[in-house]
């Protein structure tokens, strides 16, 4: 997704950067955010949106593959959107990140036992059982999902959907508290 960025600073090491944004739940907000990614050439790996503990506030978790400078700039650009209430880069902060996937796999009767055993090993669940296929549901880190998908691939993947990651800071803190600490912006190299 997106084109090669025009930014000319030699890129540092690209890693999966996870940002959480609290945004106003208003028509067009998601459009503004996606438009920003498109316009500035940020490469989205995943983006999830959902409700939060606060009425009228949605939470966006976005994962981009980028170096730290780019992630800082993305954070600063997100923060310029008026509907964005706060942004927290949790990449280097203790946090929990999970993603969910459905995988529809071919499951002829003779291989079904083998398949179910693998699913169990990965602590995934079968949520639909048909004569020729099963749907496996799994939740975990990106790495765990990647692993399960690779294991299932030889059976024949008919259909695959991943939700994209959601993240939450560990401990008593709240992602929305980024608002308060904004004045000491951490842009300094």
- Which residue lies nearer to other proteins by CB, 7 or 177? 7
Find all residues with CB under 8 Å of 131, minimum gap 6, and list them. none
Q: Which of 37, 42, 58, 73 binds other proteins (CB under 8 A)?
A: 73
Cβ atoms of 70 and 132 closer than 8 Å: no
Cβ-count burial of 145 within 10 angstroms (0-12 exposed, 13-18 middle, 19+ buried)? buried
CB of 32 to other proteins, least distance (A): 6
Q: Quick check: 48 binds other proteins (CB under 8 A)?
A: no
Q: Quick check: 1 binds other proteins (CB under 8 A)?
A: no
DSSP reduced 3-state for 33: helix
- Which residue lies nearer to other proteins by CB, 28 or 154? 28
Going by the DSSP 8-state scheme, the letter that residue 3 receives in this structure is: P
Q: Which of 3, 8, 109, 110 binds other proteins (CB under 8 A)?
A: 8
Encode burial over 83-105: b for 16+ CB neighbours within 10 A, e otherwise: bbbbbbbbbeeebebbbbbebbb
Distance CA 187, CA 189 (A): 6
Q: Which of 80, 143, 171, 172 binds other proteins (CB under 8 A)?
A: 80
- Which residue lies nearer to other proteins by CB, 82 or 108? 82
- Which residue lies nearer to other proteins by CB, 159 or 185? 185
- Please report, as ranges, the residues that interact with other proteins according to CB under 8 A: 7-9, 24, 28, 31-32, 35, 39, 69, 72-73, 76-77, 79-83, 85, 179, 182-185, 187-189
């Amino acid at each position: 997704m997106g084109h090669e960025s025009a930014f000319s600073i030699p890129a540092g090491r690209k890693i999966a950067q996870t940002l959480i944004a609290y945004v106003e739940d208003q028509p067009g907000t998601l459009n503004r955010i996606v438009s920003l990614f498109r316009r500035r050439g940020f490469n989205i790996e995943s983006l999830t949106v959902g409700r939060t503990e606060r009425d009228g506030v949605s939470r966006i978790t976005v994962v981009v593959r980028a170096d730290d400078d780019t992630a800082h700039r993305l954070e600063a650009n997100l923060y310029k959107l008026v509907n964005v209430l706060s942004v927290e880069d949790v990449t280097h902060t203790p946090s929990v990140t999970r993603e969910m996937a459905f995988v529809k796999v071919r499951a002829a009767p003779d291989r079904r036992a083998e398949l179910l055993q693998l699913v169990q090993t990965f602590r995934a669940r079968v949520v639909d059982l048909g004569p020729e296929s099963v749907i496996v549901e799994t939740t975990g880190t990106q790495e765990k999902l990647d692993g399960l998908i690779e294991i299932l691939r030889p059976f024949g993947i008919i259909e695959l959907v991943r939700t994209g990651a959601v993240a939450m800071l560990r401990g008593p803190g709240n992602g929305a508290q980024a608002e308060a600490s904004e004045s000491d912006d951490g842009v300094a190299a």
